[in-house]
Structure 1
Amino acid sequence: MAEVEVVSFETAIRKIDGVKRRHLLLGNGFSIALKPDIFTYGSLYENADFSAVPHVPALFEALKTQDFEIVIRHLQDAATVVEVYRPKLTKLAASLRRDAAAIKDALVAAVARRHPDRPYDIKPAQYAACRSFLARFDHMFTLNYDVLLYWTLMQDEVDDLNLRPDDGFRHPEDDPDQPYVSWQQANSPTVYYLHGALHLFDRGTEITKYTWSKTDIPIVDQIRKALDEDRYPLFVAEGTSASKRARILHNAYLHKALRSFEECCRPTGNALVIFGHSLAENDNHVLRCIAGGRMEHVLISLYGNPSSPANQEAITNAKALVRLREKRHGGRFPLSVTFYDAESVRLWG
């Protein structure tokens, strides 16, 4: 068992007081910290609609998991194996891939169905606590699909922080009366949704974002209406890092987001704080940016007992990043990792 020192967040953040820029990477723990009854995989699984693929719950049970991405990965891997060992069974391979796609759709629908309905379902004091945390960082990157980060950044009335976040979306230049805003690559965003989000849609010719201000219709209602019409948001839920990366590289917004994260990891004077992410292998396309950069410090949250299986996995993965950094740069630009107690952040107050 790997033993590490776990310090408070304030102790950890003091270690990077002298850096030029501090950036933030958010995982699902960001949302779970506010609504554990909604955003854990177990809760999403219990509320997922598998009616289009009624045999799929048995697959979750057989694999002894409620993690959608694990099941998706197994289906994609099985399809690949079938194509090699039984190339004539093209229908079976296609069926496995369809099931994987159906599970991805069920995941995003479950997130939308369980999502808080309105921004005011979250208390002003909770927003204020979260914003005081976010205010410490120059760029914010999230791997989550929900709109909690977006809502929080929009709640200017709860404090005097003047965060001024920019996600790169603007009124369409050729048609400003459209009921959405569109991503414009020439901007310099400070907020990125690395795996897409419920309120982002790929229209083929442009990436758009739903907003309340353009329609007077709550964002979550717009998202649910789109899903009812079989229009799915931009989201990456493939089962492996390689398949996620392939999906990202075929979308201009997602590709730009990943490159921006890579650029933030490059300078020696930068530091990264990771909150609510296990450094799981299926997100290696993101984590490799840390190993490949020259950034000196990474602060990683651990929730609960450091000896728990989930935390041991995160610790092991963090140490692997340190070794990979050393290998890539021949011992130059070593990576310093500090583990901090997630609960000490008091993220939502």
Structure 2
Amino acid sequence: MAFHIEDWNDIKGEYDGTVLLGNGASISVDPNFHYTSLMDHAVKGDLLTTDVKSIFNFFFTDDFELILRILWQATNVNKSLKINDSKTEEAYNHVRDCLITAVTNRHSEYDNISCQLPKIYNFLKQFDTIISLNYDLIIYWTIMYGNSIDKKHAFKDCFVDSKFDDDWQKFRNPIGQQSSCSLVFYPHGNLIFARSKFEDEIKISSNGSAILEKILTKWEQGNNVPIIVSEGTKEQKIKSIQSSYYLNTVFREVLTNLSNNLVIYGWSIGEYDEHIIQRIAKSEISKIAISVFENNQTYCNRVNQLVKNEFGSECKIVFFNSESLGCWNNDAIS
């Protein structure tokens, strides 16, 4: 069975609820975001020492955030007990530096993608809820751009004074000059989130061009561990999600309370991310539009069956061309 691939402009009037963004969205902005994992980058670049590799192997994980947190806690315990242990702190510093190198090597500069932000903004402001599975800064930069040019539409990530407000539903209500809002959530974390040495979860903020430098500086200072879930199996990712108050709130509450229509853009829905689609299926979604790159019918067949299994046969599924006019970073007109 061949699936018909729609153009975005022909179906967009039916979809204003939630958009979920996968890595394909970031890749279309800058090919530098084309990656398999941070660990693959670190291994291929020969960034990890033998000792550090053994730590990752011992805990059966490729998750930098988990290993950083374990080493950080171990270092603090040793210091509090006055145990002379420079090796653990050296391992922490090395893993941190490897993560900084991997992110720096692969993250685009603001000036290289800023020209695409208006198109991304115009696409995203159509939706009540934006779910990003990417840890990069594209959505952060788009929010900053959009909120600076339009006071009538507001993007809100539910953070106030760098802290997450778990009464997130109230942010759906426009205030002041606002007439509409889009709430933004990151189920797998983001570079802008960090855990302090007191286990507080904070959001790092700065202007567009300076935010990446500020994030890396905070990591280098050793007082913050990034909150990103970019590696591992489904089970490992769920465990990491449950270790964070913010991520767990998004996973338990936000993903199960979405409106009745969903757009998926640039997400392969791989086996290690099925926990996300299974959680979203608990929302009352009746129709889903899914982007397709280059008429990939194999992808359509696989995803169509997967979605039907999770959402039921009654759920309407349509596929649209990821490069069609008006969607994501594509021009609105030819």
Q: Residue 30 of structure 2 contacts residue 113 of structure 2 at CA under 8 Å; is this kept in 1?
A: no
1:258 alignment partner in structure 2? 251
2:29 alignment partner in structure 1? 34
Instruction: Choose from 257, 264, 271 the match for 1:281.
Output: 271
Task: Tell me the distance in 2 between the aligned counterparts of 1:99 and 1:296.
Answer: 36
Q: Please report the TM-score for the alignment, with normalisation by the length of structure 2.
A: 0.73
- 2:193 pairs with 1:200: yes
Displacement, 1:161?
A: 7.2
2:57 alignment partner in structure 1? 95
Supply the AA of the counterpart residue of 2:305. K
- 2:40 pairs with 1:51: no
Instruction: Choose from 150, 155, 167 the match for 2:157.
Output: 167
1:5 alignment partner in structure 2? 4
2:79 alignment partner in structure 1? none
- 2:116 pairs with 1:121: no
Deviations 1:147-192 (A, max 9, x none): 1101011113885474311111112xxxxxxxxx222223435111
Task: Tell me the distance in 1 between the aligned counterparts of 2:101 and 2:257.
Answer: 32
Supply the AA of the counterpart residue of 2:128. D
Displacement, 1:218?
A: 1.4
Displacement, 1:338?
A: 0.6
Task: Tell me the distance in 1 between the aligned counterparts of 2:2 and 2:280.
Answer: 22
Q: Please report the TM-score for the alignment, with normalisation by the length of structure 1.
A: 0.70
Partner of 2:154, secondary structure, is coil
1:339 alignment partner in structure 2? 319
Displacement, 1:201?
A: 0.3
Supply the AA of the counterpart residue of 2:321. D
Greater mean deviation of Cα atoms: 144-153 or 92-101: 92-101
Task: Tell me the distance in 2 between the aligned counterparts of 1:135 and 1:217.
Answer: 22
1:298 alignment partner in structure 2? 288
Instruction: Identify if the C-alpha distance between structure 1 residues 32 and 163 changes in structure 2 by more than 3 Å, giving closer, same or farther.
Output: farther
Q: Residue 170 of structure 1 contacts residue 182 of structure 1 at CA under 8 Å; is this kept in 2?
A: yes
Task: Tell me the distance in 1 between the aligned counterparts of 2:229 and 2:273.
Answer: 11
Task: Tell me the distance in 2 between the aligned counterparts of 1:242 and 1:318.
Answer: 24
Deviations 1:53-88 (A, max 9, x none): 4699xxxxxxxxxxxxxxxxxx9xxxxxxxxxxxxx
Deviations 1:114-159 (A, max 9, x none): 32333x43344x2111111001100111000011101011113885
Q: Residue 291 of structure 2 contacts residue 322 of structure 2 at CA under 8 Å; is this kept in 1?
A: yes
Instruction: Choose from 183, 197, 200 the match for 2:164.
Output: 183
Supply the AA of the counterpart residue of 2:320. Y
Displacement, 1:225?
A: 1.9
Q: Residue 65 of structure 2 contacts residue 225 of structure 2 at CA under 8 Å; is this kept in 1?
A: no
- Would you tell me which structure has more strand in proportion to its own residues? 2
Q: Residue 53 of structure 1 contacts residue 99 of structure 1 at CA under 8 Å; is this kept in 2?
A: no
Q: Residue 192 of structure 2 contacts residue 204 of structure 2 at CA under 8 Å; is this kept in 1?
A: yes
Task: Tell me the distance in 2 between the aligned counterparts of 1:275 and 1:137.
Answer: 13
Partner of 1:4, secondary structure, is coil
Gaps of 5+ in 1: 57-74, 76-91, 172-180
- 2:146 pairs with 1:156: yes
Instruction: Choose from 188, 203, 207 the match for 1:209.
Output: 203
Task: Tell me the distance in 2 between the aligned counterparts of 1:94 and 1:27.
Answer: 26
Share of identical aligned residues, percent? 25
Instruction: Identify if the C-alpha distance between structure 1 residues 54 and 319 changes in structure 2 by more than 3 Å, giving closer, same or farther.
Output: same
Supply the AA of the counterpart residue of 1:291. A
Q: Residue 52 of structure 1 contacts residue 102 of structure 1 at CA under 8 Å; is this kept in 2?
A: no
Displacement, 1:284?
A: 1.1
Q: Residue 112 of structure 1 contacts residue 223 of structure 1 at CA under 8 Å; is this kept in 2?
A: no
Task: Tell me the distance in 2 between the aligned counterparts of 1:226 and 1:141.
Answer: 26
Task: Tell me the distance in 2 between the aligned counterparts of 1:196 and 1:133.
Answer: 22
Instruction: Identify if the C-alpha distance between structure 1 residues 280 and 141 changes in structure 2 by more than 3 Å, giving closer, same or farther.
Output: same
Task: Tell me the distance in 1 between the aligned counterparts of 2:264 and 2:311.
Answer: 17
